[in-house]
Amino acid sequence: MDSSEMNCDRLLETAKQLGCEILNNEPLSRHTTFKLGGNCIAMIEVGSADALKELIRCAKDDKIRYYVLGKGSNVLFDDRGFDGVVLHIGAAMSQVSFVDDTTVSVQAGCSLMKLCRCALDNSLTGLEFAYGIPGTVGGAVFMNAGAYGGEIKDIIKSCTVVTADGEVETLTAQQLEMGYRSSSIQKTGAVVCEAVFELEKGEKAEIEAKMEELMGRRKDKQPLDLPNAGSTFKRPEGFFAGKLIQDCGLRGFKVGGAQVSQKHCGFVVNADNASSADVVSLIEQVQKIVLKETGQFLECEVRIVPFDEKSEVK
């Protein structure tokens, strides 16, 4: 990491001047739901959209490799870590404010759980599907998160981003081009700062009952007791990834400490002090076996982040 560390001085000084907390040589395993990954050169706690803009501009000017991280619920870092700086969007950017009675503006670092509870407190319906998704608003918009028949694209009105060039832009729902676990942001390298959602007035008791019902279904069907990154594979059109994996006899299949969940075959879990390499190897083997047995290729939904730009992501 020596060459990158030498180049980071101005970026870290900029972060300091902006009032951002800096964590040097931070273990990424502390910031991902897989509980895996080595250290990054530094992690910067981003406090505002303006700070994010300045940090991205500085990183680009100095050719510093960076990665933007929220709650780390859909990410797998390399065992060697990340040879660059992580820009963490979390509690310092988690404000929720109301535009009017049914329109809510939310900063990217706000957790979906917090947002859902806020909607409940104000008798607003439309977000029940997201209750229990362990990510932030920024990640949810980036991936067009969804569950139980609902998706972010159903409720989003607009989104403010910082572009890869360090410019602030506001995108309409149409410009976000949201599809199944996809958005235009994934192609442009922009970073979500804030999103505006259009909800509807509802009955608080009914909203709460629906949220609790969906949370109960999650607890019954998903391996919430073991570190994981949610659904590991995207759903092939006309099929369910978990069913394909199960039909291939892979329930409980292990590589090192990584395992296909005994509870839900669509999840890979960190069952026994797994390494990131264990998880990657398991994913590859599941893909090969399912393709051979069923003819269906399972595209990985988890974002696998290589140690450096030269590392090959298999």
The answer on 280 and 245 residing in a single domain is yes
The answer on 108 and 204 residing in a single domain is yes
Structural element, H or E, at residue 143: helix 137-143
The answer on 190 and 301 residing in a single domain is no
Q: Is 301 a catalytic residue?
A: yes
Tell me which of 158, 192, 220 is where a domain ends. 220
- Please work out, in degrees rounded to the nearest 5, the angle formed at the alpha carbon of residue 145 by the alpha carbons of 144 and 150: 100
Tell me the two tokens of residue 83.
Answer: 């040879």
The answer on 177 and 261 residing in a single domain is no
CATH number at residue 126: 3.30.465.10
**Per-residue tens of pLDDT for the chain, all 314 residues:** 444 444 899 999 999 999 999 999 999 999 999 999 999 999 999 999 999 999 999 999 999 999 999 999 999 999 999 999 999 999 999 999 999 999 999 999 999 999 999 999 999 999 999 999 999 999 999 999 999 999 999 999 999 999 999 999 999 999 999 999 999 999 999 999 999 999 999 999 999 999 999 999 999 999 999 999 999 999 999 999 999 999 999 999 999 999 999 999 999 999 999 999 999 999 999 999 999 999 999 999 999 999 998 774 44
CATH number at residue 236: 3.90.78.10
Tell me the two tokens of residue 153.
Answer: 């694209």
Count of domains forming the chain: 3
Pair type for strands 82-88 and 66-69: parallel
The answer on 188 and 278 residing in a single domain is no
The answer on 197 and 172 residing in a single domain is yes
Tell me which of 36, 66, 92 is where a domain ends. 92
- Tokens 């669509």 -> residue: 266
Its pTM stands at 0.94
Tell me which of 189, 220, 251 is where a domain ends. 220
Residue 91 identity: A
Tell me the two tokens of residue 298.
Answer: 């399972």
**Angle, helices 49-61/9-17, rounded to nearest 10 degrees:** 160
The answer on 176 and 74 residing in a single domain is no
The answer on 197 and 127 residing in a single domain is yes
Strand partners, 159: 171, 195
Among candidate residues 117, 293, 301, 303, the one labeled active-site is: 301
Among candidate residues 73, 181, 194, 235, the one labeled active-site is: 181
Query: What percentage of the chain reaches a pLDDT higher than 70?
Result: 97
Check: CB of residue 156 under 8 Å from CB of residue 197: yes
Segments forming the whole domain that contains residue 78: 2-92
Strand partners, 269: 228, 259
Cα dist from 106 to 141, 171, 249, whole Å: 11, 15, 43
Check: CB of residue 13 under 8 Å from CB of residue 60: no
Q: Is 231 a catalytic residue?
A: yes
Q: Is residue 213 part of a domain?
A: yes
CATH number at residue 46: 3.30.43.10
Among candidate residues 29, 111, 231, 276, the one labeled active-site is: 231
**Angle, helices 204-221/112-121, rounded to nearest 10 degrees:** 150
Residue 308 burial (C-beta neighbours within 10 Å; 0-12, 13-18, 19+):
middle
Q: Is 94 a catalytic residue?
A: no
Cα dist from 144 to 66, 139, 154, 293, 298, whole Å: 22, 8, 9, 30, 19
Rg (CA), the chain: 20
The answer on 15 and 35 residing in a single domain is yes
